[in-house]
A = this chain, B = another copy of it.
Amino acid sequence: MSAKENRSIALVVQSGTLDRLMSALILASTAVAMNMEANLYFTFWGLNMLVKGAMDKAGLPATYKNFEEQMRRRMAEMKYPSPHEMLKSIYATGKLRIYACSPTMGIFGIKKEDLIPEVTDIVGAATFLEIAAKAELTLFI
């Protein structure tokens, strides 16, 4: 395997809103298209979006709430896939790893069987730090 095939990005998805989820998914989608691996670590409000059925209900943050209807309408007109559909198509490339933050699961009382099947593993911050140390790009979203 060449060095190029090992290139990766590592994103912490802490937010639970549609705009930031879209930012994370667009970056992940772009990374895998460039033959990089995309590692997404979902924590806090982000982890809550990994609960079955939750991701496609994500709305906008309080600050931008009055843009929500316009944004949804435009994304529908532009035939954007839903966030979960988008995640599934990135996942199908085999280059996406979805990590669920274990301490957050305790705080919110979320169990493994509550999560979408695309979750690769339930891990703590130490695992994320090791993954991030090898990544070319790390962002907190």
Q: Whole-angstrom distance from the CB of A44 to the nearest CB of chain B?
A: 5
Interface string of A97-141 (1 = CB under 8 A from B): 000000100111100000000000000111001001100111111
A86 interfacial by beta-carbon distance below 8 Å: no
Residue pairs across A and B with Cβ atoms less than 8 A apart, 25 shown, are A7-B133, A12-B23, A12-B139, A14-B20, A14-B23, A16-B64, A22-B44, A23-B44, A26-B103, A27-B129, A29-B125, A30-B124, A30-B125, A45-B63, A45-B64, A61-B61, A63-B63, A74-B106, A74-B109, A75-B107, A129-B137, A132-B137, A137-B138, A138-B139, A140-B141
Assess the B33–A126 pair: CB atoms within 8 A: yes
A3 interfacial by beta-carbon distance below 8 Å: no
Residue of B nearest to A106 (CB): B78
Assess the A133–B132 pair: CB atoms within 8 A: no
Residue of B nearest to A71 (CB): B107
Residue of B nearest to A62 (CB): B62
Give Cα distance in the complex from A75 to B139, angstroms.
26
Looking at the complex, which one of B62, B71, B125, B139 makes contact with A26 (CB distance below 8 Å)? B125
Given A62-B62, A107-B71 in contact, is the A34-B141 Cβ separation under 8 Å? no
A9 interfacial by beta-carbon distance below 8 Å: yes
**What residues of B have a CB within 8 angstroms of the CB of A107 in the complex?**
71, 74-75, 78
